[in-house]
Amino acid sequence: MRLLCPFWVNKIDALSIDSPSALTLRDLLCTNVDDQNEVWSYVLLANFLFDMEWLFSVAPSLLQTKKKLFLVSGEKGLAQQFSSSSFSGAIDKGRIRFIEPKLPLPFGVHHTKLAICVNENGIRVAIFTANFIESDWSQKTQGIYVQDFPKRSNIDKVTEESYIPLNIQDNRGNRFKNELRRYLNSYNVFSSLSDENGIPNTLFDEFDFSNASVELISSVPGYHRGSDAYLFGMGRIESLLESLYMGTSDKSETPLLTWQFSSQGRLTDAFLVKMESAMVSEIKNKDISEQFRPMVQVVYPTESEVRDSLEGWIGGLSLPLRLACCHPYINKRLYRWGFSAKDMNDNKITRKQSVPHIKSYMRLTEKKDALKWVILTSANLSRAAWGEWQKKGTQLAIRSYELGVFYDSESFIQISDELFSVTPSRPIPLPSSVEGDGLIEVRIKKKEKKGSQDEPILFLPYDPLNPEPYASTLQLQKSEGSEDKSPLIAKDRPWVIDIPHFGKDALGKDFHEALKTNNSIDHTVDEISSLEKKAKMENKNNRSLDL
């Protein structure tokens, strides 16, 4: 039997291929409301952007939540947006709670994309890269992790007296539960059993997380010092790799990394070096010489890939990289998302034409024939998201909320007779690839060559093993160390939102015409308004957008 990682993409409306690896938001949130065991008791939805009308039209069963529906967002006026929606009267106000997480450091945002749904059957945890807006789910490329966990069997009723905040047993299931609880604590969402305004702090102990396939990597804003600095952001990556991989890598081969994101902040050399170091922290001697610094491939779409995408120029609004944030380190490591003129000439819509909003970071094998590990996350490449080391490396400053999952060779779905589902009427399908779905099958290599166990596979929306470099990337790499000052080849240039864009897009519009008619191609007014407000804020504070 093939070992499958719990990794899915979103279903693109324009694609006619129905792939088991492509999910809709309805797949994650909908239940059979006639089955009381399926109806949600608690739901927590966290995101950066919400379109209330669309969200509840897609998943009306959310309004049947028995005890509490939590909506977590950094957006101002979320409660008012809901009260003015057509669904505001469909749920008792006592059963819905709006949470605006604290942002203790300037310029931070709540960027996590998360759904936790509890019913009588168990708990569903979904972590993804899409906002709760229609175009994110129907037109862009996203990544999705989701797993269902059953209720523990034959356990005594958990009481507050018997509740232990952190289980000290060191296995993946307990780590998953504890990391999730640690992250949710930052929302101040847990409460005593007698307080109906929160999630009971004993609730997670009712579920069996033993089949958790992934590790969690979160970012919580604040100044994290001492050992706490290794619980979040890039500190968490470093400590996780050290604990899982220490001693399995040597320094004889140059480490290979792929970074893929939809935006980047104002980067510094020190930050980039620390990100590199965190992702190779399992190497015994971490004092990596220049000769053995990782080789990094940055996968990011070109201007032509945005122009020729399903959304045309408008798709670039979700890639808000600004000229002031471009960095030489990134410029000479750029690789295309994967859509080319040849694809256009085939006159066939492919997944490659969907602008990437997914964020993924991974370590490749030295032979570039498989992956060592993968991180799927909401976090773009920025100091706000991953943190910045301060005070001689003793303090990690993080500005934003982020959440992601870590896949390795143990990250496969455990299947006995059948896959457990908290929604038997609508189970999540096992991921697989079908002809024409545009997904690439990639293996995660086992840490040690023992036994004959198969290696788990993911179906990714791009090829991290054989990306196509920008023409300028090849030119910069070839001229490195020489005095060649030739003008850069402009054939491939990265999408940068605040420079002039010329020509007609795939929808026959020029850039300014596309901006004026954005509502006609499924972008909500709320999304555009939020982007414009953030753009103004950035210009005022000279900082980067990080959506």
* Tens digits of residue pLDDT in 359-410: 999 999 999 999 999 999 999 999 999 999 999 999 999 999 999 999 999 9
Helices 233-245, 269-278: axis angle to 10 degrees equals 30
pTM of the model: 0.90
Q: Provide CB contacts within 8 A for 13, sequence distance 6+.
A: 138, 139
Residues designated as active site: 111, 357
Q: 332 with 492: CB under 8 angstroms? A: no
What is residue 482's predicted lDDT score, i.e. its pLDDT?
A: 59
Picking from 226, 190, 210, the residue whose alpha carbon sits closest to that of residue 149 is 210
pLDDT at 289: 58
Q: Are 7-215 and 218-248+255-415+434-522 the same fold in CATH?
A: yes
pLDDT band for position 63 (50/70/90)? very high
Determine the pLDDT at residue 485: 60
Quickly state the pLDDT bin for 338 (edges 50, 70, 90): confident
Is the pLDDT assigned to residue 168 strictly greater than 70? no
Looking at residue 308, the DSSP 8-state letter turns out to be T
Distance CA 493, CA 479 (A): 18
Task: Give exposure, 210-241, as e/b (b: 16+ Cβ within 10 Å).
Answer: ebbbbbbbbbbbbebeeeebbbbbbbbbbbbb
Indicate the pLDDT class of residue 50, thresholds 50, 70 and 90.
very high
pLDDT exceeds 70 at position 2? yes
pLDDT, position 283: 65
pLDDT digits (tens, 9 = 90+) for 459-471: 999 999 999 999 8
Higher pLDDT, 109 or 419: 109
274 is in an annotated binding site: no
Q: Two tokens at 434?
A: 């079908």
Residue count of the chain: 547
The per-residue pLDDT for range 173-230, each reduced to its tens digit, is 999 999 999 999 999 999 877 778 899 999 999 999 999 999 999 999 999 999 999 9
pLDDT at 547: 47
Which residues neighbour 20 within 8 Å (Cβ) at sequence distance 6 or greater?
429, 430, 431, 432, 434
Q: Is the pLDDT of residue 28 over 90?
A: yes
Judged by average pLDDT, the poorest of 21-35, 95-109, 157-171, 329-343 is 157-171
270-279, 473-482, 496-505: lowest mean pLDDT where?
A: 473-482
Alpha-carbon gap, residue 61 to 294, rounded angstroms: 47
Question: Which of 18-22, 82-86, 417-421, 534-538 is predicted least confidently?
Answer: 534-538
> Is residue 325 over pLDDT 70?
yes
113 annotated binding-site participant: yes
pLDDT for residue 491 is more than 80: no
Average of per-residue pLDDT across 297-311:
96
Please state the rounded mean pLDDT for residues 489-518. Answer: 89
Position 533 scores a pLDDT of: 45
Q: How confident is the model at residue 172 (pLDDT cuts 50, 70, 90)?
A: very high
Which residue in 375, 372, 368, 376 sits closest to 446, CA to CA? 372
DSSP 115-137: EEEE-SSEEEEEEES--BSHHHH
Tokens of 313: 């120029």
Share the mean pLDDT of the chain: 87
Which residues, listed in sequence order, are joined to residue 122 by a DSSP beta bridge?
150
Q: What angle do CA 230, 356, 99 make, to 5 degrees?
A: 55
- As a whole number, mean pLDDT of residues 109-131 equals 98
Tens digit of pLDDT for each residue in 408-467?
Answer: 999 999 876 578 999 999 999 999 988 888 999 999 999 776 555 789 999 999 999 999
The CATH number of domain 7-215, selected from 3.20.20.60, 3.50.50.60, 3.30.870.10, 3.40.50.1100: 3.30.870.10
- Give the start-to-end residue ranges of the domains of the chain: 7-215, 218-248+255-415+434-522
**Fold type of domain 218-248+255-415+434-522:** Endonuclease; Chain A (3.30.870)
CB atoms within 10 A of CB 529: 10
What pLDDT is stored for residue 495 in this prediction? 96
In contact, 403 and 378? CB cutoff 8 Å: yes
Contacts of 359 (CB under 8 A, 6+ apart): 129, 143, 260, 261, 262, 376, 377, 378, 379, 380, 404
Nearest to 102 by CA among 132, 144, 74, 139: 74
